[in-house]
Amino acid sequence: WKKELYKCPSTNFRSNYLDVKYTFNVSKILSYIDIIRKETGISTNEYVLTIKPRINVKYYVDNYENQETLTPYFSIIFDIQAGKLRFKESNSTYVSDKVETIVKTNYVKIFGSMIEVIKLKILLYFTLVLVTTSFILNWVLVIRKRERKDIISMINAKYKDLIIEAKDLRINVKNVVDVRNIEDLVKIASNLGKPILHIVLKEKKHVYHVVDEDILYRLIV
């Protein structure tokens, strides 16, 4: 025979953890057993009390609502002959509260496939990192490109009287000296009384150079 004894009131929760405590009256349960035994004449040494909560979970992933229902349960055996309470399929005597922990993986449906939410979060995290890194690198390149254009424009405007446009760099010299900035190259040109030759290479690099016999002084921008 079966009988539903109690119904717990529903409780709303919004956290990752919910602690619910419920007390049942053993004497009342034993009185039910005595009544059934007297009215039916049927007796057994063990009766099972099943505690079965119903948990409705609602969560959101990317603004999509998902719902799941969990029904964890465990059973307590009333051993009438031994006068003990114990958990089902266990030989230990029931002496304290039983803690039941259930971990259920959340899934989300994407393009017809079920993907674990935690894996999706990791994938989205790495995607965000890659996109952010790519954006930063592109932005740095854009800034450097603008700075380079500004430097070239400044050099051509400020030292236009000293600069001569050249077609190529077919100069046979033994030594090449790279200078740090245009100011150093201007000093060298002034000291030698030489013009600053300017050429744009195929890779769009601007080369400013001063030739002094076997030495080529240059600045690459």
Q: Identify whether residues 85 and 125 lie together within a single domain.
A: no
Q: Identify whether residues 154 and 164 lie together within a single domain.
A: no
Question: Tell me, what's the pLDDT at 92?
Answer: 41
Q: Identify whether residues 113 and 139 lie together within a single domain.
A: yes
Q: Identify whether residues 90 and 140 lie together within a single domain.
A: no
As given in the structure block, the two tokens for residue 19 are 């602690």
Question: Tell me, what's the pLDDT at 90?
Answer: 46
As given in the structure block, the two tokens for residue 16 are 């990752």
On the CB side of 217, CA atoms within 13 Å amount to 21
Q: Identify whether residues 112 and 150 lie together within a single domain.
A: yes
Question: Tell me, what's the pLDDT at 105?
Answer: 59
Q: What is the mean pLDDT of each run of 10 residues along the chain (221 residues)?
A: 72 71 76 82 81 75 75 78 70 47 59 66 70 68 72 86 80 83 90 89 83 86 84
Pairing of strands 215-220, 175-178: parallel
3-state secondary structure of 131: helix
Question: Tell me, what's the pLDDT at 156?
Answer: 86
Q: Identify whether residues 131 and 74 lie together within a single domain.
A: no
Q: Identify whether residues 131 and 176 lie together within a single domain.
A: no
Domain count, the chain: 3
Question: Tell me, what's the pLDDT at 84?
Answer: 76
Q: Identify whether residues 89 and 51 lie together within a single domain.
A: yes
The whole-model pTM stands at 0.37
Question: Tell me, what's the pLDDT at 28?
Answer: 80
| Boundaries of domain holding 146 | 106-158
The beta strand positions in the chain, using DSSP E, are: 46-51, 55-61, 64-70, 74-79, 84-87, 107-110, 113-116, 163-165, 175-178, 196-200, 206-212, 215-220
